[in-house]
A and B are shown apart, each in its own frame.
Chain A
Amino acid sequence: MRLIDHFESGLDAPICLTWELTYACNLECAHCLSSSGRRDPRELTTEQCEAVIDELQRMQVFYVNIGGGEPTVRPDFWHLVEYAVAHDVGVKFSTNGIRLTPERAAWLASTDYVDVQISLDGATAEVNDRVRGAGSYDTAIAALRNLRDAGFKDAKVSVVCTRENIGQLDEFKAIADEYGATLRLTRLRPSGRGADVWDDLHPLPEQQKVLYDWLMASGERVLTGDSFFHLAAFGESLPGLNLCGAGRVVCLIDPIGDVYACPFAIYDNFLAGNLLADGGFARVWRESELFTELRAPQTGGACSGCAHYDGCRGGCMAAKFFTGLPLDGPDPECVQGYGEAALAEPRGIPAASRDHSRSAPTRNAPVLLTLSRRSDLKDLSSPAAPPVSACAESPLAGFVPQPERV
């Protein structure tokens, strides 16, 4: 049995576990995977979180990726980090940097086994703030500076690759280098609020080739969280596992203890159980019906005849699901072009669920709308063509009022 077959049939404990500690967030990123914003009132308490960590220690889950929402806004966040490390569970946490003060950076620099990942989706404030909100670039850079100045080694700069930032890969690398950090690139998923903006933000086919070539040239100096295995169909595989690990080697625990197959699939169809209601995390991981199903041998479906199937293995389950494509067919961003064909077919996009977005956007919320002229007007300089449709014509059109005669 090859190693990859062992992974596909599932391990007794996940290799890599993502734990969203809260849905609360100070930002409202347009592409948020978890539709975060407001805290869920059922959020796990400090004691419940400690019990989860105890269980992870027993299962020998070596490290967790803590995220949110913005995990550092939880008042017990730093305590939980310390608790995890003291219980042999290493921590990597993702943050927009809002709480990374010089004091906190100094504390982090003095702590072993904690890794920090700062989210940055543009190498310039203009590109970053358009999707992450006004001021978020400055916050991220300030956090990186504080970490560097405190002597923290090897932070991660985590970038979601979009149509708007693929051209900035070298600049991202330069930013990471400047702050003694490692660059980490991940794939934009149509999950959560990402579903609303995916059509406009996901990299174009020619940009995927640019990304692939750039990653191949960078090798292991740039991290990818194994998120681009769909690009393996270009030829050579990128470093990493190169398979969908959902429910097999990865999973997600959400702020209320719900366990999902992967971090990009916070949706009823991928809910394996709840660690409070279903007898603990180990039991959900080992016995849930959903995970058993995901670990059963999968067929390539529509992809099984493709010469590249061994490379990409059909791509990302979440990307397919949230774009309304069948799970046993091609990835929407299939680099052999089968995705575009599939997207052109009639399909239904799953309705939003588990939405913790703020009910009203705040002052700094990103607005992806751009004001522009109608594209069907040939002469853009001519003010003679008003942007009104035929049915909006004024009942007074052509009426020129005459001075009244008395």
Chain B
Amino acid sequence: MTVTLEGAWALSPSVALRPERFGALAYHFGTRRLTFLKRPELVAVVRGLATADDVEAALEGAGVPAEHYPAYLAALDGLAATDMIQERAA
């Protein structure tokens, strides 16, 4: 399943975020997988997913310029593949 601008996603309920200077550590208690969110903007996007209408709104909300959307979608894809974020009903 691919993350698209129109999709609705949220942080997985088993994942905790710990703020760090470089961004955040994301830890999945179920899979025991640790992931580094290497940019504060990405952390803002991930945190904003649950309340934004769709991914695009979350990117906008975090102030990500449109030309960077593809890179962020790729990063979100990676997080989706490891169950860090989950698709939700829009």
Contact = CB atoms under 8 A, between A and B. Distances in A.
A67 to B, nearest CB: 17
Interface stretch (B4-12, B24-32, B49-57, B72-80): B24-32
A1 B30 contact: no
B16 interface: yes
Contacts of A112: 29-30
Contacts of B16: 60, 62, 88
Contacts of A31: none
Contact of A6 (B21, B27, B30): B21
B20 interface: yes
Given A6-B22, A11-B20, A88-B16, A113 B34 contact: no
Interface in B11-52: 16, 18, 20-22, 25, 27, 29-30, 32, 34, 36, 38
A92 interface: yes
A15 interface: yes
In the complex, which range does the number of interface residues on chain A fall in? 10 to 19
Contacts of A90: 27, 29, 32
A3 interface: yes
B87 to A, nearest CB: 22
Nearest to A13: B18
A115 interface: yes
Nearest to A12: B20
A13 B18 CA distance: 10
Contacts of A88: 16, 29
A63 B30 contact: no
B11 to A, nearest CB: 14
A interface, over-half SS:
loop
B8 to A, nearest CB: 26
Interface in A221-241: none
B22 A113 contact: no
Interface in A1-49: 1, 3, 6, 11-13, 15
Contacts of A11: 20
A15 B25 contact: yes
A84 to B, nearest CB: 12
Contacts of B38: 3
Contact of A62 (B18, B21, B22, B36): B18
A6 B32 contact: no
Nearest to B15: A62
A3 B25 CA distance: 11
Given A1-B22, A3-B22, A6-B20, A62 B27 contact: yes
Contact of A3 (B30, B34, B36): B36
A277 B29 CA distance: 32
Contacts of B32: 63, 90, 92, 115
Contacts of B36: 3
A380 to B, nearest CB: 54
A66 to B, nearest CB: 14
Nearest to B36: A3
Contacts of A60: 16, 18
A62 B22 CA distance: 18
Contacts of B20: 6, 11-12
B30 to A, nearest CB: 7
Nearest to A88: B16
A63 B34 CA distance: 10
Contacts of A63: 27, 32
Contact of A15 (B22, B29, B30, B34): B34
B18 A113 contact: no
Given A6-B22, A88-B16, 13 more contacts: A1-B22, A3-B38, A12-B20, A13-B18, A60-B18, A62-B18, A62-B29, A62-B34, A63-B27, A63-B32, A88-B29, A90-B29, A112-B30
23 contacts: A3-B22, A3-B36, A3-B38, A6-B20, A6-B21, A12-B20, A13-B18, A15-B34, A60-B16, A60-B18, A62-B18, A62-B25, A62-B27, A62-B29, A88-B16, A88-B29, A90-B27, A90-B29, A90-B32, A92-B32, A112-B30, A113-B29, A115-B32
Interface of B: 16, 18, 20-22, 25, 27, 29-30, 32, 34, 36, 38
Counting from the closest, the 10 A-B pairs by CB-CB distance are: A62-B27, A60-B18, A6-B22, A113-B29, A90-B29, A3-B38, A11-B20, A3-B22, A115-B32, A3-B36
Interface of A: 1, 3, 6, 11-13, 15, 60, 62-63, 88, 90, 92, 112-113, 115
